[in-house]
Chains A and B, each alone.
Chain A
């Protein structure tokens, strides 16, 4: 007689088909050994199930995702690609540098002197009028005698000016009139998203690219700005990852292929270098021109702050879950109310998922900004400063003011980053004294 001991678990589990079940039942009726096996199976099974049932199940941890995210961002795929991107970017940069030097030399031999052979009206319109007209271009090309009107210099110098002009900002001191011109030019070019990005590149402005870049960026609609915001930490990382910094620190977290694909000196990609500056300024996007003017002064600080955020391991994720809608939905507003109630009742860990849900539900720009700020506050309360920084940056991307910079300063303080804290507090000070500290007239 063949025993059925191996199939008894299936018999008890009910996963046998009818024929097998009937066969086992017939066998059990005549086989004491298998009946004993079945009883043991039941008894041991019951003991194990009782054990499992009496083992306490851990409580739900609302901060688990934050902890996991802190360890995983960015994705490995990102890392692999960005390493390839870095390699490609480096190779491309080197190739472009060699080409630039050769071309410059060739052109220098063909046309002695620094003046271009001919200029089209467009070139004239685009020619820098500052006291150092070819400064940025010569720096980029690596050849002090490189003619400005050569095709290479045209593509290479003008889009790359934004980066250099950030260094030159102090001495160039763009006049308000130029800024206004830049703004109107940019506005005309910003009919669509790509136009917005390419605006300053299509119409480079006299030695003012960083500023014109920022102005055009500030005119980008909130929708577009929101989309760009998702890329901003990556852009900041791109700024931070000039060859020296990158080799020292390795790939920065949050960087995208765009930032590592050699945007710094690769002519076809050079417009993205301008986009870096604009990307930074998009974070300050506002419709108020006066505010724009004020914000532009903070652009370097924003870049530093975002760069630091990338260095703290934040990915470009902080704005992805937030839905940007023109009018907040009642559900989202209700969630915000609940979240604020939880926060005010001293339950920040309860407020966090509610704020997140509200952001996912869809909030308009001011409410979204406020929700990010409060989400940051909640994370600070649960002693999660990196997450707080993450959300304060998101709030900053929707508008800078003293409050958000102060909060960012406090996070850096908590993280022990004195330089970061000083940078943030300096930016905060530029918005004036806090209302409570303003002396009475």
Chain B
């Protein structure tokens, strides 16, 4: 009976977090096992970073930084949580911190010299869109990104998780460690502010 209970308990754990076995290996000193987690979750992490940052060129560096932080904090990971949830939290914090820092740097950037001609910007190619549509889309992206970044942190994080990452309110609540009712409320306030900023886009 005890054995059966143990099996069920193990199955429950595995069901709860499919990464449990890999994390056990990492904790036992098998550093290479963490490579499996990096391969498994780099799409999730780099996607979140790309959607959170202003500058796509920073995506690779910030993604790398997130995994470095996760590796270093692995001992603090509790087995009663899902690894993906825990990693989301780290990714979100790191990406938002970096975005804030980049925004502050942009603010203090030296204004371009009006006497010097600005270098021509290359319009990125998109096989499905014409150059004008690409420019329009990028401008629109910039406005949305700026509007989201202007939100207070607690509102911004629910917007990123719920709308950008497609997480349900309950999943967002689990990642942020807050009540689901709080998520609904924060979404309400965030949308109210975004509605004002983005009314021209709608």
A contact residues around B64 at 8 Å (CB) = 64, 67-68, 71
Partner of A72, one of B43, B71, B144, B188: B71
Q: Is the CB of A57 within 8 A of B50?
A: yes
- Is B30 interfacial (CB-CB < 8 Å)? yes
Nearest CB in chain A: distance from B132 CB, A: 16
Chain B residue with the shortest CB-CB distance to A42: B191
Partner of B51, one of A55, A69, A71, A320: A55
Q: How large is the interface on A (under 10, 10 to 19, 20 to 34, 35 or more residues)?
A: 35 or more
Interface residues on B, range: 35 or more
Whether the Cβ atoms of B31 and A75 lie closer than 8 Å is yes
Contact A48 B180 (CB under 8 A): no
A:148-191 near B, CB below 8 Å: none
Instruction: Bits for B145-179, please: 1 = Cβ < 8 Å to A, else 0.
Output: 10010000000000100111110111000000000
In the complex, what distance in Å separates the CA atom of A43 from the CA atom of B198? Answer: 10
Known interface pairs A9-B187, A64-B64; A52-B51 also in contact (CB < 8 Å): yes
Residues of B within 8 A of A356 (CB): 35
Contact A315 B31, beta carbon cutoff 8 Å = yes
Report chain B residues within 8 Å CB of A294. Answer: none
Q: Which residues of A contact B43 (CB under 8 A)?
A: 57, 60
Contact of A68 among B67, B141, B148, B165 (CB under 8 A): B67
- Chain B residues lying within 8 Å of A353, measured Cβ to Cβ, are 39
- Determine whether B103 belongs to the interface, using a CB cutoff of 8 Å to chain A: no
| Given contacts A9-B183, A51-B144, A52-B164, A320 and B30 within 8 Å (CB-CB) | yes
CB–CB B191/A45 < 8 A:
yes
Q: Which residues of A contact B34 (CB under 8 A)?
A: 65, 68-69
Given A40-B195, A58-B63, A71-B68 in contact, is the A13-B169 Cβ separation under 8 Å?
yes
Instruction: Verify if A373 is at the interface (C-beta below 8 Å from B).
Output: no
B168 contacts A13, C-beta separation under 8 Å: yes
Q: Chain B residues near A47 (CB, 8 Å)?
A: 144, 198, 201-202
* Cross-chain contact A9 with B163 (CB below 8 angstroms): no
B163 touches A69 (CB 8 A): no
Whole-angstrom distance between the Cβ of B31 and the nearest chain A Cβ: 4
Task: Answer whether residue A118 sits at the interface, using C-beta atoms and an 8 A cutoff.
Answer: no
Which residues on the B side are within 8 Å of A48 (C-beta)? 144, 148, 159, 163-164, 194
Distance from B98 Cβ to chain A, minimum over Cβ atoms (Å): 15
Output the nearest chain B residue to A13 by Cβ-Cβ distance: B169
Task: Check if A77 is an interface residue, CB within 8 A of chain B.
Answer: yes
Cα(A52)–Cα(B52), bound, Å: 9
Q: How far is the CB of A363 from chain B (nearest CB, A)?
A: 15
CB distance from B125 to the nearest CB of A (A): 12
Chain B residues lying within 8 Å of A23, measured Cβ to Cβ, are none
Q: Given the complex of chains A and B, what is the CA–CA distance between A336 and B145 in angstroms?
A: 45
A41, B195: Cα distance in complex, Å: 8
Query: When the two chains form the complex, which single residue of B74, B137, B183 contacts A54, counting CB atoms closer than 8 Å?
Result: B137
Query: Which residues between 1 and 46 of chain A lie within 8 Å of chain B, taking CB atoms?
Result: 5-10, 13-15, 37, 40-41, 43-45
B75, B165, B187, B202: most-surrounded residue (chain A CB, <10 A): B187
Q: Does B60 contact A (CB under 8 A)?
A: yes
* A-contacting residues, B10-66, CB 8 Å: 29-35, 38-39, 42-43, 46-47, 49-51, 56, 59-60, 63-64
Task: For A359, give the chain B residue with the smallest CB separation.
Answer: B32
> What A residues does B195 contact at CB under 8 A?
40, 43-44
Task: Given A5-B188, A44-B198, A320-B32, check contact A65 B168 (CB 8 Å).
Answer: no
B9 contacts the other chain (CB 8 A) = no
From A55, which residue of chain B is reached at the shortest CB distance?
B51
**Assuming the A-B contacts A8-B184, A61-B42, A321-B32, are A44 and B194 also in contact, with contact meaning beta carbons closer than 8 angstroms in the complex?**
yes
Query: Does A117 count as interface, using CB distance less than 8 angstroms?
Result: no
Question: Quick check: B42 and A76 within 8 Å, CB to CB?
Answer: no
Contact A73 B31 (CB under 8 A): yes
Contact B191 A41, beta carbon cutoff 8 Å: yes
Contact partners of B108 in chain A: CB under 8 A: none
| Cβ contacts under 8 Å, A45 to chain B | 163, 191
Q: Is A9 within 8 A of B198, CB to CB?
A: no
Q: Do the beta carbons of B32 and A77 come within 8 Å of each other?
A: no
For the complex, what is the distance from the CA of A34 to the CA of B41, rounded to whole Å?
A: 39
Q: Which residue of A lies closest to B124 (CB)?
A: A56
Nearest-neighbour CB distance to chain A for B166, whole angstroms, equals 8
- Taking a contact as CB atoms closer than 8 A, the residue among A13, A44, A317 that contacts B32 in the complex is A317
**Residue of B at shortest CB range from A76?**
B72
**What distance in Å separates the Cβ of A317 from its nearest Cβ neighbour in chain B?**
4
* A418 contacts B by Cβ under 8 Å: no
Once bound together, how far apart are the Cα atoms of A37 and B195, in whole Å?
10
Q: Residue B185 at the A interface, CB < 8 A?
A: yes
Which B residues lie within 8 Å of A55 (CB)? 50-51, 141
With A44-B198, A55-B50 as given contacts, are A49 and B184 in contact (CB-CB < 8 Å)?
no
Q: Which residue of B lies closest to A67 (CB)?
A: B64
Is B63 in contact with A64, judged by CB distance below 8 angstroms? yes
1/0 contact trace for B69-108 toward A, CB 8 Å?
Answer: 0011011000000000000000000000000000000000
User: Contact check: which of B68, B162, B184 meets A6 at CB < 8 Å?
Assistant: B184
B49: chain A residues within 8 A (beta carbon): 58
Between-chain CB contacts (< 8 Å), 5 pairs: A10-B169, A15-B169, A47-B202, A61-B42, A76-B72
Known pairs A6-B184, A6-B188. 5 more at Cβ < 8 A?
A9-B187, A51-B145, A58-B47, A68-B38, A317-B31
